[in-house]
Amino acid sequence: MLLGYVYKLRPNDKQFIMMPEQPSTINHLIQQVVHHVQSRHPEALDLVFDSLPVNINEQVLTGTLATIEKDIDTLSWFCGYFAGEINHSEDNEVPRHPITDLAKIFIEAGAGMQPFIDFTPYPGCRLVIANTAKFESLPVSNTSCCEARV
């Protein structure tokens, strides 16, 4: 069987034919979101995420993270978007994004913290640490910029 093709039964003559596989709605949304993240387009992401029910948003987020997991720059930008640091395309022109930079440090450092698993971007330009063991295992030079809040 060719990748991207499925066998379907023709209704009239009861024969199987090979047809291109149609991407599911979720996969289509994931592709859309990945494109918007890679092109750094927060307004388009708002349109997608604001129009979907929570359970679909979660599936799209999970699929998007799996797709971009090797692209640390894009992944850290996505964290900045979710933390509210990047709201408009013009925000991409700002030379420094502290949340995006910090997310990148967490992802690259030592044990490699995973966004939305080990830490979560939180509105108000914050990162919430979920895996304190991984955070505490980071080299001191990487965590000296962090302020602990209880």
- Residue-range domain boundaries for the chain: 1-68, 70-150
Distance in angstroms (rounded) separating the CA atoms of residues 27 and 63: 8
Residues 6+ apart with CB under 8 A from 11: none
Q: Which is more confident, 79 or 6?
A: 79
Split at pLDDT 50, 70, 90, the class of 2 is: very low
Q: What is the dihedral of CA 114, 146, 76, 23, to 10 degrees?
A: 40
Burial classification of residue 97, based on how many CB atoms lie within 10 Å of its CB (0-12 exposed, 13-18 middle, 19 or more buried):
buried
pLDDT of residue 67: 96
CA neighbours within 13 Å on the CB side: how many for 143? 13
Instruction: Kindly state the DSSP code that residue 123 receives in the 8-state scheme.
Output: T
Per-chain mean pLDDT for the chain? 84
Please name every residue paired with 9 in a beta bridge, in sequence order, or none if there are none.
16
pLDDT of residue 68: 96
